[in-house]
Structure formats: C-alpha cells, structure tokens
A and B are shown apart, each in its own frame.
Chain A
Amino acid sequence: MSSNTLVIEAGRTDREYWKDLWRYRELFYFLAWRDVLVRYKQAVLGVAWSVLRPLLTMLVFTVVFGRWAKLPSYGVPYPLLVLAAMLPWQLFINAMQEGSNSLVANTNMITKVYFPRLIAPASAVVVSFVDFLISLVLLAFFMAWYRVTPGVRLLAIPVFTALVVIASLGATSWLSALTVKYRDFRFVVPFIVQFGMYASPVAFSSRIVPERWRLLYSLNPMVGIIEGFRWAILGKGAELTGISILLSISGVAALLVSGVWYFRRTERTFADVI
C-alpha cells in the first residue's frame, strides 16, 4: 500500500500525470460512452443524424457551388468531391464544438473529484470520431452509386484520419482550457467554424486557388488533410503535394504540442476559476 505514495506539492511538475492518464483510462471510456449515449437520447432520428448532417450539407454545397457557382470538379462527381472533404472537416469541427465546452459542461466533476482533466476534451473527440465512423457509411454508399472503384490509396485514409484526430485534440485542448477562463471563446468557436469552412477546401477543390497563393493556403493544416482524403478516396480532383502534407503534419503536431502544453499549464487552476 505504501508503494503508491502520492505527493501533493506546490508547483510540482508531475511526471505522474502521464501515468495517471493511463490509470484513468477507464474513466475516459466511461465519459466517452456517456457522451455517445447522451448525444442522441430523446432524439427521434437518433444516430441517423450523423448521416443526415453531412448528407444535407453535401446537397447544399453541391447545388450552390457545383450547380450555381459552377466551380470545376476536375472530373469527379461534385457530391463526392464535397463528401470526401466533409467527413474530416465535420470530425474536426464537431470535436471543436463539443470539446471546447467539455470542461465547463463538466464543472461539477472538476470541482468535486480529481481526474486528469485532459480526459474531458479527449472524450469529446471520441464522440465526434464515432459520428465520423457512422458517416463513412454515407461515403461508401455514394462511392458505389457513382461507381468509384476504391484503390490501394484507401489505405492512406487511417493515416489522414489520425491527423484529423490529432488536430482535433490539439484544437480542443486550446479551446477548452481557454473557455474555462474566458467564456468569450464560446462565441469564438462558431466563428472559427464558419470562417474555417471557407479557409479550407471543403466546398471546392484547392485547385481553384491561384497557384501563387497555394503555399500560403497550405499553411492551414486542414488543407493538406482534406486534400489527402480526396486523394485517397477519389485520386482525381485532389491537389495533394508533398509540401502541403508536410505543412499539415507539422501544423498538426504544433497544434497538439502547444495545446497540451497550454492545457497542462492552466489545468491546476481549473477548479479555482471555472
């Protein structure tokens, strides 16, 4: 029993934290499970929403950008062009929306019990990930509909998915920690989501961005990821360059590292300021 001596100290840099994170993995499963369960309780359509939302958005974008604005689709059915981008994008923004509020939503837990706080935003990411998995069905359906034969490139999907998940974790770490102290971020997140939709090639291919701006455009890590998805699913119509992948990976890594750093820095005061 005395082997697990716990030392509480002012300003300790606890190496224990990462061990704790592992020790509390069951709580992490439970919180994720709770959030998944609660998400569609008392919703008549239930899980269908995770298919309906990307489907409806896809239809709107296809009509507005494909039909009316007549943006080029580079030989790919416009709905597929949009859908391939929609899946990672919705995973990212859902995680951000759910995650940024995750600490505040769990205020009573945070002020009453100890657990590594990173679990809260991380479990919010899991919920969005489950949604993502369900909406993959939609993608499979449309691929069959448009007779797109999946190739070996599909194997790259897990890699790009991992990148979105990491990006989501990074973004939610930042936003959830900031929301604890500054509730302003509740208003910032919807803005990021709206703005990001146009700053990322969700409704259109990044090829329509003029050549000389593309490098700058690729600084947005979501650009490489989204084009990566398009490339893996469609092959054509994607604008994936080595440099944009590299920028994405480094951007995502920076987001995660800085996010976790800020989170850890402010974490010890959460219970006091929330």
Chain B
Amino acid sequence: MSEYVIQAEGLGKKYMIGHQTRPRYETLRDAVVDSFTRLGRRGLRLLRSSSQSVSDPGREELWALRDVSFEVKRGDRLGVIGRNGAGKSTLLKILGRITDPTRGRAAIRGRVASLLEVGTGFHPELTGRENIFLNGAILGMSKSEIKSKFDEIVAFSEVERFLDTPLKRYSSGMQVRLAFAVAAHLEPEILVVDEVLAVGDFAFQKKSLGKMRDVAQGGRTVLFVSHDMGAINTLCEKAMLLNAGSIVASGATREIVAKYLDMASGLYSPVRVPVHRGELHLIGVDVTQNGRSTNVINSRQPFTIAIEYENVEVVPGSRLMVILRNQKGEVIFTTSDYDDLTEPAANRRTGRFISTVTIPAKLLKEGSIYATVAADVRNDRMICVVPDVLRADVVDPECDPYAETHRRDGVVAPILTWHMVPVDSSPPAEQSKWEARSTNSMQRVQE
C-alpha cells in the first residue's frame, strides 16, 4: 500500500478564451450578413465536432495549469495558496473530477469529497430535511450514511425547529449553517476544501474551523485552498504556492506564506480607472508596500494607497476619500484628505495630482479588503465614486497558529501595546490618583 494518497504528474489544463477581434458593425446589412456567416460557421462547427481543435484567430489558448506535479501523503494537510487566477481552483476541480486535465495524470487513493462550495444542489422549494438528504447524496454520501448521521447534522446546524420548512423561508445564515453541517459530516479519506470558512457568523465560523480541525486530526488528508492565511496556518503544516498555473514553491506553511507575500509584491500593477465624470477625474489607484505595488499586504507593516486624479475644476469643500470594506461588506473605516484640515483639502488647484494615504501597520485583520475611492463635497453631493476599485488580501505572516482559539472579534485587529504594573510596588502618585478617583465616585453615590 502506497503511503501517497495523491500523486499528480504534469497536470495541465488549457482553456480557450475568446477575443473580440471583429470590427464593429458598420451598417445593419453588415450586421445581418455577419450574423448569418457566423451562424453558418457555428453550424458547420457543430456538425464537424464539439471539441475545436481547429485554430480560430479570435481565440487564444490559456494554460490555467501547467505541468503541476506533487505528492500528498496520507494524513497530510496541504494548503494551496496563490493569487487569484493562479490555478488553485482549477487544480481542485481536476482533483475533484469536475473537469478533465488537458495533460498529465493524477492517481488518487481513497474517496474524495470536494467542498468547493457548501450547499451545492440545495433546492429552495424542498424542506430542510429533504435538502439534507439531497445535499448529502450530491456530496457522495449513501442514504444509510445520511440516516445514521442525520441527528448529528441537525444538531450541528442549529435549525431543528425548521426542519420541515421549505428552505426558501430560511435566512441566509440558516441556509449556510445547514449546508456546512452536511458537508462537515462527510467522512472521506481525502477532503478538498475551497474557502468554505468564510461563511456564517463569527461563532459559526469558529465552530466550523474547529470541525475542520477535527476532520484533519482524524488522520484524514486535507487539501485546503484559502486566502485566509490564518486558517491555512492553523490547519495545514505544509503548503504549496501556485503562480500562473505552476508550482513555485512548496514546504512548511510558514515559509511558503512568507514567500507568497514576497512574490505578490512587485508583480502587481496599479489599477486604471476609466471613469471620467464630474469635476474630478480619477485616473488610477495603487497600493504599495515597501515601495512596491502589491495586492497582498503584510499586516505587520504600513502600506500606502495612492490615488492619481485630475482636478478639472476646483470645487470648494471637496474631499477625496477612501472607504475600506472587508469581504463581508462591512466598512472597516473611511478616511479623507479633509480629516485633519491640512494642506490638500485647502489648496485645491486644477491639474493632475497624486494623493497618498498611509495605513498604519498592525491595524487590519487578515482577509480580503476592498477599497472604494470617491470624491464628494461635504454634506452636499458626490462628485464621483468608484466602488471596490481595489481588492487586496491582508496577510499576517506572524499569525499565531492557534489563532482561532482567540480570534479577535471586530472589523480591525490592531496590535496594541499593553502594560502591566503590579499594584503594590507601583509609584505612590499613581496609586493615590486612583484612590482619589474612587473616593470621588463614592462620595457622589452617597450624595
């Protein structure tokens, strides 16, 4: 019996992506003729074959995954990290047999359950009870298996009272809880998970993470994809870093996370904004850390958001602002160049400018952040808004591996300095002040 449960050799996946190369229609006649020729061509293609091997000038090859080889031992917990589009999801889809690789092969020993999304196949018209059975079957459980775990699933989901209510009457939180409860009770030999922990409220997230930990510690093999470096650090002892479809590095989680941070910076180019309306034209937005553009931010260091814009007209009382939200859509904070009433807001001139704001270190929580950039006139009107113009992932490389046991509640997670002073040996002045205050309040109570 081999100790490897997953052996992948040279996996590759090619997608064909369409391009808009055709010129725009000049006349109605052109449009009609064009659509007819296209229809004809499509019809021909349909008859000839379904897999287009014929080269098409309007289409381009894209290798979402390229020559990926790795091995996973039984009981390993492997984290897969990489930026959006690095090929993580494609890899999981191939391992989950959702899509076929274009090249290479993978041998998998044992039952695989992929939780690419919880609640797959849920039907709004069916009751909670019916959905448990349906979803369980979709995830690969047998009917007897679901029956034997039914009570456990219901208890975990905390929706006992609504079991015979159609799912469409559930709140979204309840739906998610039910979905995760079913998924968490799968007992596969290999569990493939993609970002499921970002669901539900805080308490439920904690519970889910705990459950995942149990699963992982039950000697099962886990493949885990997430942007949440905290969760990766917690759950996985090994990690693999993907970039542009290839494995760049693999090894101990901590090192790989550090590498990820390092690599992500510098590769990223500023966002261009095509919106030109109103008296202020936004041109571009950029995030830099340590002098390099990035979309992965190390939370232990400060970073800067730079906004390039053109003042077409000077608007008195106008301000430029940044609204930062987390992935739940909650506002983390709002900041504007009017905040401290200094130079920028007072000295508006026409022309092109770059305004920068620096966000201090040790403030943001791990996870994705979305920045909305806007300009407005205070208490009056909006000049322009570009919602979620930037997305970046905040990562804490020194994240505590037991973070989930004392995960901090709130939209920010500032690391503040605490001081501890023993009471009896402290300077007398300090002590008397305290005493004075408490006697004051006692006097007030007596009055």
User: Is the Cβ of A10 less than 8 Å from the Cβ of B137?
Assistant: no
Bound Cα distance A262, B108 (Å) = 28
Whole-angstrom distance between the alpha carbons of A94 and B109 in the complex? Answer: 41
**Separation of A112 and B119 alpha carbons in the complex (Å):** 10
B189 to chain A: closest residue by CB: A1
A181: chain B residues within 8 A (beta carbon): 50
Q: Tell me which residues across on chain A come within 8 A of B270, comparing CB atoms.
A: none
Q: List 12 A-B contacts (CB under 8 A).
A: A2-B2, A10-B100, A26-B142, A31-B137, A34-B126, A34-B130, A38-B123, A108-B120, A108-B121, A112-B114, A113-B116, A271-B98
Bound state CA distance, A131 and B93, in angstroms? 36
Binary interface encoding of chain B residues 85-99 relative to chain A, with 1 for a CB under 8 A from any of its CBs, else 0: 000000001111111
In the complex, whether B239 has a CB less than 8 A from a CB of chain A is no
Query: With A2-B1, A38-B126 in contact, do A8 and B105 touch (Cβ < 8 Å)?
Result: yes
With both beta carbons as reference points, the residue of chain A lying nearest to B117 in the complex is identified as A112
Given A30-B133, A34-B123, A38-B126, residue A6 in contact with residue B112 (CB < 8 A): yes
Which residue of chain A lies nearest to B141 when distances are taken between CB atoms in the complex?
Answer: A26
By the criterion CB–CB under 8 Å, are B138 and A269 in contact? Answer: no
Q: How far is the CA of A109 from the CA of B108 in the complex (A)?
A: 22
| B45-63 to A contact mask, C-beta < 8 Å, 1/0 | 0100011000000000000
What 0/1 pattern do residues 146 to 187 of B give for CB contact below 8 A with A?
Answer: 000000000000000000001000000000000000000000
Report yes or no: A112 in contact with B97, Cβ–Cβ below 8 A: no
Cβ-defined contact, A10 with B116, below 8 A: no
Q: In the bound complex, what is the Cα–Cα distance between A268 and B133 (angstroms)? A: 27
Residues of A26-54 at the interface with B, using a CB-CB cut-off of 8 Å, are 26-27, 30-31, 34, 37-38, 41-42
Docked pose: A265 CA to B46 CA in angstroms: 13
- Interface size range on B against A: 35 or more
B→A interface (CB under 8 Å) = 1-2, 12, 15, 42, 46, 50-51, 93-112, 114, 116-117, 120-121, 123, 125-126, 130, 133-134, 137-140, 142-143, 166, 189
Does B114 lie within 8 Å of A1, measured CB to CB? Answer: no
With known contacts A181-B50, A271-B98, A41–B106 Cβ distance under 8 A: no
CA distance A30 to B143 in the complex (A): 9
B residues near A112, Cβ cutoff 8 Å: 98, 114, 116-117, 120
Q: Which of B2, B96, B105, B121 lies in contact with A10, CB distance below 8 A?
A: B105
Q: Is the CB of B110 within 8 A of A30?
A: no
Contact of A7 among B96, B107, B116, B134 (CB under 8 A): B107
CB distance from B125 to the nearest CB of A (A): 5
**A47 CB → nearest B CB, Å:** 15
Q: Given A38-B123, A109-B138, are A4 and B109 also a contact pair (CB < 8 Å)?
A: yes
A211 at the interface (CB under 8 A from B): no
A114 touches B46 (CB 8 A): no
B98 touches A182 (CB 8 A): no
Q: CB distance B99 to A272 under 8 Å?
A: yes
Known: A38-B126, A109-B138, A113-B140. 18 other contacts (CB 8 A): A4-B110, A5-B107, A5-B108, A6-B97, A6-B107, A6-B108, A7-B106, A9-B106, A31-B134, A34-B123, A34-B126, A108-B117, A110-B98, A114-B96, A115-B138, A178-B46, A182-B42, A272-B99
Contact B99 A106 (CB under 8 A): no
Q: Are B106 and A111 in contact (CB under 8 A)?
A: no
Interfacial chain B residues near A11, Cβ < 8 Å: 100
Q: Shortest CB–CB separation between residue B94 and chain A, in angstroms?
A: 6
If A266-B50, A268-B100 touch, whether A27 touches B137 (CB-CB below 8 Å) is yes
Q: What's the nearest-Cβ distance from chain A to residue B270, in Å? A: 32
- Determine the chain B residues whose CB is within 8 A of the CB of A27 once the complex forms: 137-138
